[in-house]
Amino acid sequence: MVGRGEDVDRVASGLLGGANLVLAGPRRTGKTTVADAAIEACRRDGAYVATVDLFELVDGSELAQALTIGLLSNRPVLQRALAGASSAGHQILGVLRQAAVARARQDLGDGVELVFEVGLGQPESDRHARLRAALELAERLALSDGKRVVIFIDEFQEIVGADKRFGDPDVLTRLLRSVLQRSPDVSVLFAGSIEHLMRDLFAPSDRALSQFGGLHELAPITVAQWQAGIRARLEDDDTTITDDALQRVIALGEGHPRATMLLIQQAHAGSVEELRREIDHALVVQALERALRQERLRHDQQLELIRTLGRHAERMAIRVAAAAELYADLRPQQAARGLAALHDHGLIARGERAGRWIVNDPLLRRYLAGRRVEALSSLRSADDETTTSK
């Protein structure tokens, strides 16, 4: 993990010390990697840990179940028993009611079974009761076993998603705060990939989670850290890199962790194919082409997402990527809506200069900029056809 050791140490120390923390930033910039490493550090230090990713869950009942399983799995007997069960609620209930397992959890209360009674005669309106039971389990487990419990909730901005699949956001956040603020032995790490939503959730305001977690901003990875980290990784495979090639990789990656590591991986793959032990500038140029080819499917999928964000979202994304005039041939409110939609989905961020925007991922930026002529002409034609038809 290049340049993130200090972040991991600070996050882990904060959580072990009883702080709730918030990690926010665009996807694929290292948040989850740092969070996972910090949670593992907490586990090695003796804490109980549990991780849930809201992106992977369909509703509040699944959230309660995933959290409960994560917490119970800190006890070896329960971990072994749950590992053999499917995710079906009735199968997990069967495991929990086995004699040996029941003894291992008898001090944790009846709420454990409530969490898994979905579809077994319990109304779906009880989902908040299930989530409350799961959250209260954390403090009960901590007190019973004399451990600090650390919970990691990834993609937390999904709690206020437009689909409201976890329930009413205001009710949920009030529930989270009411239970967790009475759980002194439980620390929570919240991470999210849509930064402004995360800041809004925890910023000073009248929201339920206002100032409930301290914001930890990942420090930029310096050029010196990239240089040392990349050289160290290559040395593990007896490979070196020339100074100009290393400088080019770092420049192309623009400090974006995933893009930079993908570029060096592709450069290394090229050196292996050519039976060489040194990466030069030519291999880095090839690595950029290889990386863009590898990312093509993901970029196509992101473009499809962009097209769902509104009539002018694709045009605005391409203009931002190409550093073109943003408001040409559009009414200000049309351009503003397109920019807002892209920003809301974590695809673009405000630049250093007022009125400037950037595409967060430098490889996606190249992909979009490469579509500029075709996309703008086709979109303009589509607008003309619409006007003519009227």
Domain ranges of the chain: 5-216, 223-294, 309-389
- pLDDT-derived band at 27, boundaries 50, 70, 90: confident
Taking the model in full, what pTM does it have? Answer: 0.81
The pLDDT-based confidence of 96 (bands split at 50, 70, 90) is: low
Coil/strand/helix, residue 183: coil
CATH superfamily of 5-216: P-loop containing nucleotide triphosphate hydrolases (3.40.50.300)
Alpha carbon separation from 94 to 84, 117, 227, 230, 309 (Å, rounded): 11, 11, 54, 50, 45
Map tokens 């010390």 to a residue.
Answer: 17
So what CATH class is 223-294?
mainly alpha
- Order the strands of the 21-24 sheet from edge to edge: 48-53, 149-154, 186-192, 21-24, 214-216
Give start and end residues of each alpha helix (H) in the chain: 5-16, 31-44, 60-72, 76-83, 89-96, 99-105, 111-115, 127-145, 169-180, 195-202, 223-235, 243-253, 257-273, 281-294, 296-307, 313-321, 332-344, 362-369, 372-389
* Residue 110 scores a pLDDT above 70: no
Average pLDDT, the chain: 87
Q: Cα(377)–Cα(79) distance, rounded to whole angstroms?
A: 58
pLDDT of residue 182: 96
The amino acid sitting at 245 is: A
pLDDT band of 381, cuts 50, 70, 90: very low
Distance CA 244, CA 265 (A): 17
